[in-house]
Structure 1
Amino acid sequence: MKVSYVKNLMLQGISVRTNNENEKNEETQKIAPLWAKYDEEHIFTKTLNKANNTSFYGLYLNYESDVNGDFDAMVAVEVTKAKNNAIVIENKKYLVFKKEGELPDVSIELWKEIWEYFEKNSDYERIYGIDFEKYSKQDEVEIYISIK
């Protein structure tokens, strides 16, 4: 885990409103179907002004409150111009967690570690701004948690 600053990151994709309670149940979860829709509808190929990298992102934003409230989830790629539903992250401070393993299990495991970390640790205060997962390799995830 390390502290990092994201200076100018523009991301564009598709989103859905959900909460962690919905995501525990296969019948009510929305994030896995969102990733499937992104793939099945070839959203990547339809996205204009993509940056020259192969990373995919899972964003969590517009938090109603905290880990228990509703939030928007988005599947996205980096773009060079902010248009339509693009999200722009400028000058934000993050605590970055990284883990290797088989997807999507490694992401789920890392989120559990993050929730536990913030329950037991007060070194950093989570602000529920824009959090995101970055997938640059097939067997690795970095999760950026917005902090004060």
Structure 2
Amino acid sequence: MDPLRQHQDAFRIAGLTARTTNSEERDPATARIAGLWGRFFGEHLYASTPHRNGDTRVYGVYSAYESDAHGAFDLTAGVAVTQGDGSVAIEAGDYLVFTGQGEMPQMVIATWQRIWQYFEAHPHIARRYRTDFEAYDGPDKVSVHIGVS
């Protein structure tokens, strides 16, 4: 199924952030993402983050890209906020939206595999590598928004 292209207005996310790479995430000894999410939920940050807006979804935001899919990036596990020191700004712009549903974490991993395959098959579509984000509508449903030019 092809992704939908949609315009996204800017908004902010606050939470926990880790810097990593895709190659580090493939090695359990250096992977940081699972621990970041474990801490986010373990410390109930989704419930205690100040300046929350009415959006009840949980987000994973990819930002501060060093280069492309091979370079380092920040991942922030968080919630939408109206303001806040240390919050991450999701840039306004066009995004391709890929959806996934099923058991975690296999579902989100499979969704990202579809995303990488899509961009390999469509080299004329340029990723921005500015901000991308996952929006979780519950424990088994995600929409992944990839910024494109």
The two structures share one fold, judged by TM-score above 0.5: yes
CA shift, 1:44, in A, is: 2.2
1:23 to 22, 25, 45: 25
For residues 3-40 of structure 1, give each alpha carbon's deviation from its aligned partner in whole angstroms, at most 9, with x where no partner exists.
11111321111101100011011221001100011112
Q: SS of the residue aligned with 1:69?
A: coil
Q: Any unmatched runs of 5+ in structure 2?
A: none
Number of residue pairs matched by the alignment:
147
Partner of 1:55: 57
> Following superposition of structure 1 onto structure 2, how do residues 68-147 of structure 1 map, counting pairs within 5 Å?
68-80=70-82, 82-147=83-148
Identify the match of residue 3 of structure 1 among 2, 5, 8.
Answer: 5
Q: Which amino acid aligns with 1:116?
A: Q
DSSP-derived class of the 1:137 partner: coil
Separation (CA, whole Å) in 2 of partners of 1:68 and 1:90: 21
Contact 2:98 2:143 in 1 (8 A): yes
4+ runs of 1 displaced by more than 3 Å? none
After the TM superposition, which of the residue ranges 48-57 and 12-21 deviates more from structure 2?
48-57
SS at match of 1:68: coil
Partners of 1:50 and 1:11 lie apart in 2 by: 9
CA–CA separation in structure 2 for the residues paired with 1:59 and 1:138: 17
Q: Root-mean-square deviation (CA), in Å?
A: 1.2
1:59-110 deviation per Cα after TM superposition (whole angstroms, max 9, x unaligned): 1111111111111011010112x21111222422100001111111110001
Q: Which runs of 5+ in 1 are unaligned?
A: none
Query: What amino acid is the match of 2:135?
Result: K
CA distance in 1, matches of 2:128, 2:143: 18
Between the aligned partners of 1:89 and 1:58, the Cα distance in structure 2 is 11
Q: Which moved more, 1:104-113 or 1:88-97?
A: 88-97
2-structure distance, mates of 1:110, 1:56: 17
Distance 1:139 1:88 in 2: 25
The residue identity in structure 1 corresponding to 2:70 is: N
